[in-house]
A and B are shown apart, each in its own frame.
Chain A
Amino acid sequence: MELLNVQHLRTHFRSAEGAVRAVEDVSFRLETGKTLAIVGESGSGKSVTSLSIMGLLDKKTARNSGSITFGGRNLLTLSEREMRKIRGNEIGMVFQEPMTSLNPVLSVGRQIGETLRLHQGLSRQAARTRAIDLLRLVDIPAPERRIDEYPHQLSGGMRQRVMIAIALACEPKLLIADEPTTALDVTVQAQVLDLMRDLQKRTGTAIILITHDLGVVADIADRVIVMYAGRTVEEAATADLYARPMHPYTKGLLATIPRLGSSLLPGEPARLEEIPGQVPSLRKPIHGCAFAGRCKFSVDLCRSKAPVLERKSEGHSVACHLADNGVSA
């Protein structure tokens, strides 16, 4: 069943030097209980996309066009009041920085219980009981004690678990996780991803996972969207993308993932292939392919005409002029 359908989403920000075109035409669909990963470097527009879905962009400085259909309604046209009923209730969100995303002066229990009291009308006592259950659900030891603690008393991993508990408190249909593991230690990263996958199995929530790291995507996502400079450059089922990446940028990203055993021999430095060059400025309109400046295969056509996202095989689309010409080989 289709839960979310984003069509031709564009987002521009007002700045002193004119518009910043953070997202230029992104479309995707997500079904109930599935996981979609949106992958890209910083500045690719992946976080802006998630904030657009939540309606959390500052209306004074940001403008959207296109449509975001969730549960039959276009979220872009809803009033702030209507959006408030959806946020935290039907869509939960986990942010990148667990160290700063929790309110330092409110207890953990208060911050979890707040959502429950707001959307489910629970009493203070009932919200507390449920909050303890939620802390247990996200594997926090001694939840009865932790619930009265403040964020500074918790480790980074624990804080991110608390964030997940807050996001899942009202059993949302969709969980948006924006770089949920980036700020955490590697071992904790794996635990948090396991937790999310485990919770998805139990609650049936759909997940949008925003990340710059294709490595974390493999185990959890059903489909992957690769974004570059505010555009979708490739979309495919996860396994298909790993096996047959078509866009040069996707290939570049895959090459930066450290593979076990490939580079950890003694005396041999870990060699990750970096993609040379920088993301183009979003302040000026981009003519041609946005990646052309960094692409080692680029030809004249790439600089003059923007490639269109085209379906190359079942469930696999790519926006590259050269995708048919054996570049993918």
Chain B
Amino acid sequence: MLNFVVRRLVSTIPVMVFVALFVFSLIYFAPGDPAALIAGDQASAAEIERIRLSLGLDRPFFLRFFGWLGDVLQGDLGVSVFSQLPVTTLIGQRLEPTLSLMVMTVVLSVTIAVPLGVVAAARQGTWIDRFVMTFAVIGFSVPVFVIGYILSYVFAIRLNLLPVQGYSPLAEGFWPFLKSLLLPSVALSGVYVALIARITRTSMIEVLSQDYIRTARAKGLGQGPILFVHALKNASVPIITVIGIGISLLIGGAVVTETVFAIPGIGRLVVDAILRRDYPVIQGVVLLFSLGYVLINLCIDLIYTLLDPRVRY
């Protein structure tokens, strides 16, 4: 088991190095002088020169890359060109809202989507199935910012039930925290629910045709235990896999959701950084999100062993 964890960790290294290389070379994709690009239009020649030196742009590319990679591995993501604060500090300040939003969305989505998918599979071809599938295709189609505005308009502006925008930190009380995140996480759930409900249905339909389901019925078990004990556990590996892969959609969605609901998270941080061409911040955020995504999917590989006794590493 430990052996597997180590091997799996090692296998993520080339992927992460590629991501790092991509992130690092971002500024070189642009035509023109990177230092001038970062400094902006109004910068003086001296300022451009200062940035050139601070980024080490006078040294060869790979030397700079490995220098930067070394810093990153020690937890130094550089300094924001705009605020002059370390990128790690900026990200640290913004971590709570984003993390809370994503955790809440995952919990909400899984609790809604899995039962929907199970019921759709159990009643394949009926109106319930068609309803769930229609719901799923709409979830795939309506962008998160559209869902966000609709929800906000109905529940915040018209019905005045929840705050329109903004974020209330957990430290200031659980209910305000929950209320401020409810609409954003429901909006962000749209695609994710669609994704999970669909794979749950597909996987369950496959499992429900297996011989052991007939055995379970021959025992006299009711629909409930058959679906949720005998079938769902067998269907869970593809479902968990998609939950992991879907995190990638969720991260992108979080960036947009934070803009709609004015949540001061990492998504806002990166959007502001783009508008200001604050490359170190963009690099840091992309690197961090990708690392998070890769690590989550590594954890999911480990969860397989809990769900299926046949999986051995």
Contacts and interface: CB of A to CB of B under 8 A. Distances in A.
A104 B219 CA distance: 16
A102 B215 CA distance: 7
A104 B308 contact: yes
A87 B216 contact: no
B52 interface: no
B215 to A, nearest CB: 5
Contacts of B211: 95, 97, 100-101
Interface in A138-195: 150, 152, 163, 166-167
Given A150-B310, A152-B309, A103 B218 contact: no
A119 B212 contact: no
Contacts of B83: none
Nearest to A90: B220
A52 to B, nearest CB: 13
A108 B221 CA distance: 16
Chain B interface mostly helix, strand, loop or mixed?
helix
Contacts of A152: 309-310
A101 B214 contact: yes
A87 B226 CA distance: 14
A56 interface: yes
Contact of A103 (B212, B220, B222, B307): B212
A118 B220 CA distance: 8
A164 B276 CA distance: 72
Contacts of B218: 54, 56, 87-88, 92-93, 95, 167
A114 interface: yes
A102 B309 contact: no
B220 A87 contact: yes
Contacts of A56: 214, 217-218
Nearest to A99: B211
B309 A114 contact: no
Contacts of A115: 219-220
B74 interface: no
B220 A102 contact: no
A115 B215 CA distance: 11
A86 B309 contact: no
A250 interface: no
A85 interface: yes
A105 B233 contact: yes
A93 B222 CA distance: 16
B313 to A, nearest CB: 15
9 contacts: A83-B220, A84-B222, A88-B219, A93-B218, A101-B214, A102-B215, A104-B309, A114-B225, A115-B220
Interface of B: 125, 210-212, 214-222, 225, 229-230, 233-234, 307-310
